[in-house]
Chains A and B, each alone.
Chain A
Amino acid sequence: MIEVKNIYKTFNPGTINEKKALNGVDLTLEDGDFVTVIGGNGAGKSTLLNAIAGVWPVDEGSIYFDDVNVTGLCEYRRAKYLGRVFQDPMTGTAADMQIDENLALAARRGKRRLWGWGITASEREKYREMLRELDLGLEDRMSAKVGLLSGGQRQALTLLMATLVKPKMLLLDEHTAALDPKTAAKVLATTDRIVEEHHLTTMMVTHNMRDAIAHGNRLIMMDEGRIIVDIRGEEKKRLTIEDLLHKFEEVSGEEFANDQAILSK
């Protein structure tokens, strides 16, 4: 179970650039929950994921992974509980290292990195099988530098790396936004497969309402650093885009039409 209890975050406090990015977010995820997150630009979606990942300390509130209070743990210490995929395909992998070396780095997440081999022959075989399942032909290019891969290939690889050591939570921040529609669909299908296979507790931010509705068992909408809509269960299954637009108007009192570009269908 993941518990986010009443967290606040203000960037550049006391300056002209002050920005209250999180305004008391409460969120409890049951094991195996797959939550999609939508909201306009600057609503605080990435900030919420970054708060959970410990990119910086929150101002108030606390975060629990099961019984562990991780509020005081910095990013690299929290990493052992988390798998993350970012919007920019460049962020999640080391471009100058080989595909198999990247996987081996991920396989050691949460372990002490001492003087044992950075990668072993038996590991390589395991990775070859996993890459084969991605169906991108990467299993034959394991010693290629990751920098040579396409954006979609890098995101699929990052997804594999994020889940190689089973995380307590998988954080996906618009991980298909930088990809062309066809590649995005493929990466999303891979996401669904991996999440299901490992029964992963997942948060997925997306710009695309259709994706937000089609994936996961729960949907939250954010606005001005708050969660303003939280839909799950049967209601989530029956949800339509019209319902969502309606909800947004109801809760925020704004006309959604202005935001078409942001929450594109």
Chain B
Amino acid sequence: MTLVTLLNRMPGDVAIGIIWGIMALGVYLTFRILNFADLTVDGSFATGGAVAVVLITGGVPVPVAMAAAFAAGVLAGLCTGIFHTLLGIPDILSGILMQLALYSINVFILGGANKAIGVGKYNLCVSMLKVTPSIVVALLISGALIAVMYWYFGTAQGSAIRATGNNPAMSRAQGINIGLMKVIALALSNGMVALSGSMMAQLNGYTDVGMGRGAIVIGLAAVIIGEVLCHAIFRKNSGFLLRLIFVIVGGIIYYMVMGFISWLRVPTDGLKLFTALIVAAFLAVPYLKGKANSSFRKAGRRGANRE
């Protein structure tokens, strides 16, 4: 493969990266704001794709199909929230259960394991056939979502969700219904994830029930890459708005790196291993940094020197 092929595929990778970034905004909402590791996203991403493809091929206008995908994601998040708050199932397990349930539901919606859209026939919002306009549209949608999130987390309800994620005991003492806040946050998060899934299906002209496999890890990768970069550039001046923007940036960078690695002819199946390792490494960094500052080994050495 030549450098030209790498450069040629770059715009497409950017488009895919932005769409993963939109999914990562949903992951940011649960993982960073609500402090809830929500594994539903692997399922709800594919749900978004399935709902959109079925509706679009059924003749429904594209914006309506995307709104329906969002609504389907909201429902999925609602179910996870109910598993967790009303039925007392631990957070990770609630997500896993919903992810499993969604697999069957997605097959049912699609009427099979995968389905193509037939790209030329519909007026899709993003498509690999017209990459540059797709990038613009995807950026506009991310911008709108970021604006809404920025506004929402400044409202009384959004603040209550942040408080719930930060300190549940304090939140209850301040009269916040933390169960309700978790359900709302999970619903909104999965709505965004499903919307992103509906865009990915359009971009590829095709959807597959396995499309969301590993989405949570990709979302985390985007969130973490964005955070590291944002911190490196803006240090302590990084407000909420910048952090949201850098989630999208993180998605783009993640997918460009993936593109680069597959250009090196690493087999695609190896990519997931690579992603997992990268995310594990970044998640471990804060812990290891703390360890480096105060470790038993160092304390032991200091103790030994003194003798």
Say whether B1 faces chain A, with CB atoms less than 8 Å apart. Answer: no
Say whether A96 faces chain B, with CB atoms less than 8 Å apart. Answer: yes
Contacting B at CB under 8 A, from A49-103, are 53, 75-77, 79-80, 82, 84, 86, 90-97, 101
Q: Is the pair B159, A76 in contact by a Cβ cutoff of 8 Å?
A: no
Say whether B136 faces chain A, with CB atoms less than 8 Å apart. Answer: no
Q: Is the pair A105, B174 in contact by a Cβ cutoff of 8 Å?
A: yes
| Shortest Cβ distance from residue B150 to the other chain A in the assembled complex, whole angstroms | 12
Distance between Cα atoms of A101 and B178 in the complex (Å): 17
Q: Is the pair B155, A94 in contact by a Cβ cutoff of 8 Å?
A: no
Say whether A110 faces chain B, with CB atoms less than 8 Å apart. Answer: yes
Q: Is the pair A105, B163 in contact by a Cβ cutoff of 8 Å?
A: yes
Known: A76-B178, A95-B166, A97-B162. A84 touches B173 (CB 8 A): yes
Q: Is the pair A114, B155 in contact by a Cβ cutoff of 8 Å?
A: yes
Say whether B175 faces chain A, with CB atoms less than 8 Å apart. Answer: yes
Say whether B268 faces chain A, with CB atoms less than 8 Å apart. Answer: no
Q: Is the pair A76, B175 in contact by a Cβ cutoff of 8 Å?
A: yes
| Shortest Cβ distance from residue B164 to the other chain A in the assembled complex, whole angstroms | 9
- Measured CB to CB, the nearest residue on chain B to A82 is B173
B163 partner, pick from A77, A84, A97, A115, beta carbons under 8 A: A97
Q: Is the pair B166, A97 in contact by a Cβ cutoff of 8 Å?
A: yes
Contacting A at CB under 8 A, from B148-192, are 152-160, 162-163, 166-167, 169-178
Say whether A21 faces chain B, with CB atoms less than 8 Å apart. Answer: no
Most buried by B among A91, A94, A109: A94
Known: A76-B172, A84-B173, A106-B174. A117 touches B166 (CB 8 A): no
Most buried by B among A97, A101, A118: A118
Known: A114-B157, A118-B155, A118-B158. A94 touches B163 (CB 8 A): yes
Q: Is the pair A95, B159 in contact by a Cβ cutoff of 8 Å?
A: no
Size category, A interface? 20 to 34
B170 partner, pick from A53, A77, A93, beta carbons under 8 A: A93
B166 partner, pick from A96, A106, A113, beta carbons under 8 A: A96
Known: A76-B176, A84-B173, A106-B174. A116 touches B156 (CB 8 A): yes
Distance between Cα atoms of A101 and B176 in the complex (Å): 14
Residues of B within 8 A of A109 (CB): 174-175
Say whether A37 faces chain B, with CB atoms less than 8 Å apart. Answer: no
Bits for A223-255, please: 1 = Cβ < 8 Å to B, else 0: 000000000000000000000000000000000
Residues of A within 8 A of B155 (CB): 114-118
A94 partner, pick from B157, B167, B178, beta carbons under 8 A: B167
| Shortest Cβ distance from residue B83 to the other chain A in the assembled complex, whole angstroms | 20
Most buried by A among B152, B155, B174: B174
Say whether A119 faces chain B, with CB atoms less than 8 Å apart. Answer: yes
| Shortest Cβ distance from residue B85 to the other chain A in the assembled complex, whole angstroms | 12
Say whether A108 faces chain B, with CB atoms less than 8 Å apart. Answer: yes
Residues of A within 8 A of B153 (CB): 118
Distance between Cα atoms of A116 and B162 in the complex (Å): 15
Contacting B at CB under 8 A, from A149-182, are 161
Q: Is the pair A91, B170 in contact by a Cβ cutoff of 8 Å?
A: yes
Q: Is the pair A75, B154 in contact by a Cβ cutoff of 8 Å?
A: no
- Measured CB to CB, the nearest residue on chain B to A88 is B169
**Which 6 pairs across A and B sit closest by C-beta, in order of nearness?**
A79-B175, A118-B159, A94-B166, A113-B156, A109-B175, A113-B160
What are 10 residue pairs bridging A and B, where the CB atoms are less than 8 Å apart in the complex?
A79-B174, A79-B175, A94-B163, A96-B166, A105-B163, A111-B156, A114-B155, A114-B156, A115-B155, A116-B156
- 6 other A-B residue contacts (CB within 8 Å) besides A108-B160, A108-B175, A117-B155: A79-B174, A80-B175, A94-B166, A101-B159, A106-B174, A118-B158
